[in-house]
Structure 1
Amino acid sequence: MQKVLIIAYYWPPAGGPGVQRWLKFVKYLPDFKLEPLVYVPENPNYPITDTSLVDEIPEGIQILKQPIFEPYGFASIFSKKKTKRISSGIIQKYKNQTALERFFLWIRGNFFIPDARKYWVKPSVKYLSNVIEEQGIKTIITTGPPHSVHLIGLALKKQKNISWITDFRDPWTTIGYHKKLKLTKSSQQKHKHLEQLVLNTADKIVVTSDATKKEFEELTGKPIKVITNGYDGVSKKTALDNKFSISHIGSLLTDRNPQKLWKVLQELVSENIAFKQALQIQLVGVVGKEVLASIADYGLGSFMNKVGYVSHSEVLELQPKSQVLLLLEIDSEETKGILPGKLFEYLNAKRPILAIGPEGWEAAAIVKATNSGIGLAATDESALKNVLLEWFALYQKDSLKLDSIGIEKYSRKALTQELAKFIRWESS
């Protein structure tokens, strides 16, 4: 079998959708006659961990590890909580930032380009150069963020006669938090230079959305393939919540706070006694203080079930029980191409999805195309209220369900087949 070296920062026991993406690709690549070798840090500083994912690592996979120097570990001496938040890309609004947090952001943005994992690049290149020769590897794949991982691929490509594929789980210079890093003009230019260098040196590029593909097509003529995130396995049939549960699964922070939804729910509980008696707002994962404050301000605190962070295996049990699955995105032009990893697991859960985000959101288009729910603009109160009333009426009749179509193409195995074809495809 052809060997493929995958270079990643996030790997179990790290938690989050970025981990699951390559964990599942690695699981299925051997089915398509490709042997994956995985290179990851030996001592990473993961902001979120999920030990249940360790059990999903396929047996027999060769996993290579080398130490990494993590500046976040040093910074945590001053404030562990703030450092953890910044390292995971969670950046509070300016007015809520302390002086120390603003200082950390400035240091992070201007001294650690492209990111704080940059010190892993040189030792990794030295180590992997030998691995490539010893194991006869002809193809390497780097996945980011962190985008410093792509610099490992860049250096190896310059040294070796190999095919290099970059996988961008998120954009580089246009992602939302990039603007909040307090970058100087010189730092912005360095980021853009590195981005273009990576895009134009790699042989092939993988992205997770059509929007990112269009963005990168303006920067390079290299082949670009959209391979979204996906779901694995078949969702188990289970009894639904007795309550009219509206569940959001995953981090729900300030910028995604659905103020219009809280307003509409406040109106419905005041106008409809049955709705008031049945409503449950279920929040699974990290929830920002501002979000909790909004829920309280709208008088919805008594309807909230704050579950907190749970393992991925528990998430898979919670999703198909929910009456409605809530998908949220920041209402801005730059988030139209964001496809949250949870979207595809929501599809697999086969519960109605209420997607609230920017007009023209790519995720909402997928929800609509698969008949899995409805996508609404964040400002459309009237439509939101009508949908909730319609779905609540169906819930009362025990008939709230939708017959989704075409979700099979988002299965992890089907997506891995597309990846395997792209790995073997030779550009003209």
Structure 2
Amino acid sequence: MKKVLIITYYWPPSGGGGVMRWLKMSKYLPGLGWKPIIYTPENPDASVVDESLAKEIHPETEIVKTPIWEPYEIFRKLTRKKKGEKFKAGYISEASSGDWKSKLSVFIRGNFLIPDPRKFWIKPSIRFLSKYLEENPVDLIVSTGPPHSMHLIALELKKKFDTPWIADFRDPWTDIDFYNKLRLTKWADKIHRNLELEVLEKADHVVTVSPNCANDLTKVPGKRVEVINNGFDPEDFEGLATSPDEQFSITHFGAFNRDRNPAVLWKTLGALAAENHDFKEKLRIRLIGQTDDSVIQSIEENGLKDNLIQMDHLPHKKGLAELAGSQVLLLPINDAPNARGILPGKMYEYMALRRPILAIGPTDSDFAQILAETNAGAAIGFNDSSGMKAVLNNYFMLFREGKLQVQSASVDKYSRKNLAQKFISLVEK
């Protein structure tokens, strides 16, 4: 077997979307002739933990860990959080408009922790991996970010070993939705952009998750950025037989931050509930996972408190089982400058469940194109209240008739197995 070193911050028992891309990709690499070697922190400060994901690791995977020091306890003291309290996804957006201590924490994060709070793991990792690679050569190095500190580790290894290196951008760096909220000085902004450009220049290949993200990352003349989508693992859906809810349930799974709060949805649901007693009685809004307080507040302000069901983060397969029974699957996109390129990993799992998807975001986006291509659901603009009302009325009518379903097609191209093959074809080409 050939060997690939994958440098990733997110790995089980950490949970959430950041883990899935390379946990699932590595699962199918041995069948394609590649042995995955995972380099990851021994003690990460993960926002979500999912012990069940350890079962997903392929038995031929080698896992190498070293300790990491992160400044999060300092941040907790500064922002008056309890010791060990988890930082929610979207913390920067929330803190950037908070009190002066929260704003100070964001300023420190953006201007002194470059590129991110995991920067203190860069030098120890370079030392450790330099020695490791001298004794255990590999055929390929992959770094996946964010956190983009992972790319800076690979950058230095590339200079020492000249091993082929692929930089994988699961999310952008200077084009990410919260970048303009980091309260950056001109000096810090220049450092971020220079480091990003060096990674893009020195990596042998750059891959990302959507066409719009690829366009944003095409900053080096003549250098192409390849798209390897996220996807779904068919094995996760074996035996997942659940009958649809008897209620008109609209379910979201995963982190639900302030920037994703779909005001048009809550306003429209509130209006429909006020107009139609049956709609009010049947409606259930289920939010599974970390949810920002602003989302709950919006729901309650629209008279939907009694329709809301909140659940803590669930192990991955239990979460899928909950989703499988939902009448509608909610996919809100961050209302941010890069919204057209955002393709949430959960979208592909929603598609595999073959329940109607209600997506909220730009209708000329990558996610809207995939939903149309696969006939998996509807995409509604951030402020399109009439379009939202029409879709919800149609979904509710079909629900009452027992006909709410989708005839999706071409979904299998987004299976993790097929995407792993696409990745290896890129490598071997």
1:28 Cα deviation from its structure 2 partner: 0.3
Counterpart of 2:29 in structure 1 is 29
2:293 to 289, 294, 314: 289
- Kindly tell me: are residues 254 and 82 of structure 1, through their superposed partners in 2, closer, same or farther at Cα, counting changes over 3 Å? farther
Which deviates more, 142-151 or 96-105? Answer: 96-105
| In structure 2, C-alpha distance between the alignment counterparts of 1:95 and 1:161, rounded to whole Å | 40
Q: Which residue of 2 aligns with 1:147?
A: 148
* Distance across 2 between alignment mates of 1:49 and 1:339: 23
CA distance in 2, matches of 1:208, 1:84: 31
Q: How does 1:9-408 map to 2 (within 5 A)?
A: 9-78=9-78, 79-80=80-81, 88-93=89-94, 96-233=97-234, 235=237, 236-408=240-412
> Residue 136 of structure 1: SS of its match in structure 2?
coil
Shift of 1:77: 4.1
Paired residue type of 1:146: P
TM-score normalized with structure 1 length: 0.95
Query: In 2, distance between residues paired with 1:332 and 1:175?
Result: 9
> Higher mean Cα deviation, 377-386 or 74-83?
74-83
Question: 8 Å contact 2:110–2:188 — kept in the other structure?
Answer: yes
| Contact kept in structure 2, 1:323 and 1:352, CA below 8 Å | yes
Moved over 4 A (4+): 81-89, 93-96
Which deviates more from structure 2 when the two are superposed, residues 210-219 or residues 237-246?
Answer: 210-219
User: Aligned residues, how many?
Assistant: 425
Q: What secondary structure does 2:37 align onto? A: strand
Are 2:89 and 2:257, in contact at CA under 8 Å, matched by a contact in 1? no
Q: Per-residue deviation at 1:86?
A: 5.8
Task: Supply the distance in 1 between the matched residues of 2:90 and 2:287 (Cα, whole angstroms).
Answer: 20
Contact 1:203 1:222 survives alignment (8 Å): no
Q: Deviation digits for residues 375-417 of structure 1, max 9, x if unmatched?
A: 1111111111111111111111111111100010111100000
Name the CA shift for 1:178/1:31 in 2 (closer, same or farther; >3 Å). same
Q: Judging changes above 3 Å, is the alpha-carbon distance between structure 1 residues 315 and 94 closer, same or farther for their aligned structure 2 residues?
A: closer
Distance 2:335 2:16 in 1: 22
**In the alignment, residue 284 of structure 2 is paired with which amino acid?**
Q
Distance apart, 1:122 and its partner CA: 1.2
Secondary structure in 2 matching 1:153 = helix
Task: State how far apart, in whole Å, the 2-side matches of 1:366 and 1:84 are.
Answer: 37
AA partner of residue 119 (structure 1): F
Secondary structure of 1:91's counterpart equals: helix
1:206 to 1:147, Cα distance in 2 relative to 1, 3 A: same
The verdict on how the C-alpha distance between 1:88 and 1:256 changes in structure 2, with shifts beyond 3 A counting, is: closer
Q: Deviations over 1:155-177 (max 9, x none)?
A: 01111131011000000001011
Helix, strand or coil at the partner of 1:117: helix
Change in 2 beyond 3 A, CA 1:209/1:344: same
**Cα distance change of structure 1 residues 299 and 320 upon mapping to structure 2, 3 Å threshold:** same
Instruction: Give the Cα–Cα distance (whole angstroms) in 1 for the partners of residues 361 and 111 of structure 2.
Output: 31
* Contact kept in structure 1, 2:38 and 2:62, CA below 8 Å: yes
SS of alignment partner, residue 91 of structure 2: coil
Please, which runs of 5 or more residues in structure 1 have no aligned partner? none
Residues 208 and 225 of structure 2 are in contact (CA less than 8 Å); yes or no, is this contact kept in structure 1?
yes
8 A Cα contact 1:208 1:226, kept in partner: yes
Query: Judging changes above 3 Å, is the alpha-carbon distance between structure 1 residues 330 and 81 closer, same or farther for their aligned structure 2 residues?
Result: farther
Give 5+ residue unaligned stretches, structure 2: none
TM-score w.r.t. the length of structure 2 is 0.95
User: AA paired with 1:239?
Assistant: S
Distance 1:176 1:83 in 2: 26
Change (3 A) 1:289 1:210: same
Asked if 2 retains the 8 angstrom alpha-carbon contact of 1:196 and 1:220, the reply is no
The change in CA–CA distance for 1:115 and 1:89 in structure 2 (over 3 A counts) is farther
Q: Report the Cα offset of residue 266 of structure 1.
A: 1.6
Q: Report if aligned partners of 2:47, 2:87 keep a CA contact under 8 Å in 1.
A: no
How far apart, in 2, do the equivalents of 1:100 and 1:279 lie?
A: 40
Task: State the distance in 2 between where 1:58 and 1:69 align.
Answer: 28
The structure-2 alpha-carbon separation of the partners of 1:89 and 1:392, relative to structure 1 and needing over 3 Å to count, comes to closer
- Separation (CA, whole Å) in 2 of partners of 1:363 and 1:173: 21
Q: Is the 8 A contact 1:166 1:204 kept in 2?
A: yes
Superposed displacement of residue 108, structure 1: 1.0
Deviation at 1:239, TM superposition (A): 0.9
Aligned to 1:416: 420
- Return the alpha-carbon distance in structure 2 between the equivalents of residues 21 and 417 of structure 1: 14
C-alpha displacement of 1:186:
0.3
* Whole-angstrom CA distance in 1 between matches of 2:88 and 2:108: 12
- For the Cα contact (< 8 Å) 2:90–2:259, is it kept in 1? no
RMSD in angstroms over aligned alpha carbons? 1.8
Q: Provide closer, same or farther for how the CA distance between residues 274 and 86 of structure 1 changes in structure 2, counting only shifts above 3 A.
A: closer
Partners of 1:252 and 1:18 in 2: how far apart? Answer: 14
C-alpha separation in 2, matches of 1:375 and 1:84:
35
- How many Å separate the matches in 2 of 1:271 and 1:200? 57
Which stretch shifts more, 264-273 or 372-381?
A: 264-273
Structure 2: distance between partners of 1:92 and 1:332: 11
- Given that 1:138 and 1:161 are in contact with CA atoms closer than 8 Å, whether structure 2 keeps it comes out as no
Contact 2:363 2:379 in 1 (8 A): no
Matched residues in 2 for 1:414 and 1:331: separation?
31
